[in-house]
Amino acid sequence: MKIIKTFEAAEAEMERRQLNWGDPATEKAVKNIIATVAKNGDRAVHKFTREIDKVSVDSLEVERDEIAAAYDKVDIGLIEALGVAAEQVRLFHQRQMQYSLKEFMGAGLGQIVRPIQRAGIYVPGGTAAYPSTVLMTAIPARVAGVEQIVMVTPPGRDGKIPLVTLVAAEIAGVDRIFRAGGAQAIAALAYGTESIPRVDKICGPGGLYVTIAKRLVYGVVGIDGLYGPTETVVLADDSASPECCAADLLAQAEHDPLSAAILITTSSKLARQVNKEVERRLNGLERADIARRSLEDNGCIIIIDDMEHAVDLVNLYAPEHLELMVRDASFLIEDIRNAGGIFIGKYSAEVLGDYVAGPSHVMPTGGSARFSSPLGVNDFLKLTSVIALGEEDLELLGPVAAALARLEGLTAHAMSATIRLKKGSKR
């Protein structure tokens, strides 16, 4: 792995790591897909599924009996594991709901908190199954009280959704499942087709086409965020285990050649040990080629003089995942402003967060942790302000509103207030 030894070089390295939203040609292609689906509905979804995914499907929607049959074909051990993970995710988000947005009403002013009616969740697929993403997106929506959860996911080469994904969807409480992926699935959720209902908000991670499509349909529907390649920073001192640090960097690197695995440490000795351990364990991985490309292109080890500057780098990068392999990690948390998730100590391995700890693994990437949060119940709630003022309130606030309206040249606005003031004075 590349080793960086000065703060200035490390700072430059962090600043260059920005999300790449694709070139103009890619965006033009996505715009064409969206426009075609908006105009032609199901026919366009089928067309792009054949042309892009090289798959033909008879029906976009997965029938209930197909979902029920999946239980008989999936290993009972996997079903039980999904059940345990689902319960952990559900319990966390139920606690989150307790501390989430609250309704209130007082002195004529308040707010109403309501769940969105219909949520669309995107689950990557096609060449692999990601049942964990089903749990991490659908369960927060269900806990928030969303009335209908609609899932889209790319079919495999056989035109089917992996059985374990169907089981996960049933466990998570998904209402309807559709065999559609990519930009065409996002467009279908945004505009609706003959088969796929229009939703209020689209949530979940995907590839470049999906991300661009979400950005382009925002405003027609809501979105949770824009997700780029996954990333992990391991912040470690000389108390850290080289084996654990290396294992977690490799776990990150095997996701994708574009993923980023970064070690920031105050210990030169640990840096050397981790680098050797990564190389020693790399060739034994099933996805060794992917992990090696990731480490060569996007991985690095940063050796820094002190923990204060190390934290500065973390906040600059705003990583999706941050592991704290340091003494007294709790003292650092207050200074860490930008991170999607913080994993404290060697027992809080990121893999537990990916699958079973409880918080959603859909987290901000590409520096967006500076201004956004992991997916949670708040993504599926919305606020309505309530204003119920009385005559005394009008007498106090009406003249102020009228004066400000006249200042801005909005005389009808001022009239709306003064008419009421005149009527009130006649009583």
The total number of residues written for the chain in this structure = 427
Instruction: List the catalytic residue out of 46, 93, 255, 321.
Output: 321
Residue type (1 letter), 350: E
Instruction: List the catalytic residue out of 277, 320, 323, 350.
Output: 320
The SS3 call for residue 166 is helix
Short-list 118, 124, 323, CA closest to 222:
118
- Do the beta carbons of residue 250 and residue 281 sit within 8 Å? yes
Question: In which order are the strands placed within the sheet that holds 104-106?
Answer: 104-106, 109-115, 381-387
Answer yes or no: 321 catalytic. yes
Phi then psi dihedrals of residue 208, to 5 deg: -60, -45
- Do the beta carbons of residue 365 and residue 255 sit within 8 Å? no
Phi-psi label, residue 191: left if phi above 0, alpha if psi -120 to 50, beta otherwise: alpha
Answer yes or no: 320 catalytic. yes
Distance CA 175, CA 189 (A): 14
Quick one: 198 exposed, middle or buried, by C-beta within 10 A (0-12, 13-18, 19+)? middle
Phi then psi dihedrals of residue 55, to 5 deg: -135, 140
How far is residue 340 from each of residues 124, 178, 270, 362, measured CA to CA in Å?
20, 29, 25, 9
For helices 242-253 and 288-298, the axis angle rounded to 10 degrees is: 100
C-alpha count within 13 angstroms, C-beta hemisphere, residue 234: 34
Strands 2-4 and 300-303: parallel
Short-list 195, 147, 162, CA closest to 67:
162
Phi-psi label, residue 29: left if phi above 0, alpha if psi -120 to 50, beta otherwise: alpha
Q: What is the DSSP string of 312-381?
A: HHHHHH--SEEEEESTTTHHHHTT----SEEEESTTS-HHHHHHTSSS-S----TTGGGT---S-GGGGE
The residues that are catalytic are 320-321
